[in-house]
Structure 1
């Protein structure tokens, strides 16, 4: 997977260290360099190309707004600041995101998602289809899991619960997003709350699918899809649903 190279600019070294540590949870992003002032970053950028810049706003010599306005061609930039009062001006400048300190890993992840969406390059599809690995955002960072380990995924509001062969984990994702990620990967949407892995369906009981030790309902809307896509000897019994 090609990594996106980034810069961090902040006049507080501790803020740089915290953001660097947070970014370690996102293997698709590589910190190329860090700077404690915008002018030093500008000198570096004369001879180096980066994909995304994380910049504080309130800094001596040149603040983040002035830094951004100094470019002829605006870079992809995420502002990281302790102050709300720059938000309107920042969004008028069409920045990727505006993060208020202290920055959580979850909020940073949403900013990175926005960057990839803006660039027209959805990171979730990279890497996963090539090596069978899928990334899940959790409270402590990112968990990488083989797709073949997933039995089924359950919707829980703005979160999903991934039931896998070793247990379960909770990730801040929408089920519809997971459905897109797992399209053509051997999974079926069977209900507004459930996506299941074909290989773990072991029985059909009325309008319920047996997945391991669990029975999951098949929603009326999804019955024809289940009939069409479930490739197993159980297929002929789907007419009972």
Structure 2
């Protein structure tokens, strides 16, 4: 059947999968190839089956939905259509509305699912969405980082992130934004994961990773990091061990 839409559902909640499966039975064009509750197993299945349509939960253990898409990006067809399927907060909704991706809010209404399926059917033949372009748009400079905290997934611009601090009490990294909101990251998040996000994130001491876009100067004697206003009151000091990395990043004379 040439009009068949090969579909995979990825969601860590088995009841959500069953509900969506049941509702999709109303659309004979939808052929469900696989349902997966683990983001780790999902990568292998998506690459193997190369679906036309992927229903993807955003907030899952280990790696979130956007991280999963970034990992499979080189291995899937550009015609694959992704429907983010989750209970989103404002950060996610704003980002998705500005991108080419569709989204389905939990709990969804039957007519909302119908609208999405009908749109997928039309676009499959008339105006297929380019997956790679949609990913670039979602993770553009205006919405660059997908940061998984213990409570939610945040899509943030680099300029919104001030620094990361490691807490010995909670044994995890905490992110501070420029509006001074703080979020605890997942226990599995390591310093190297944060540093790999962006060259602007530099480790200034064992417990602090700073966005050096906000670093004005470093005092020679105390190694105190002076930040641009309105953050100049913050007490952050570099360690001798990491000072050379800061100088490399700032291209000191």
TM-score, normalising length: structure 1: 0.49
Higher strand share: 1
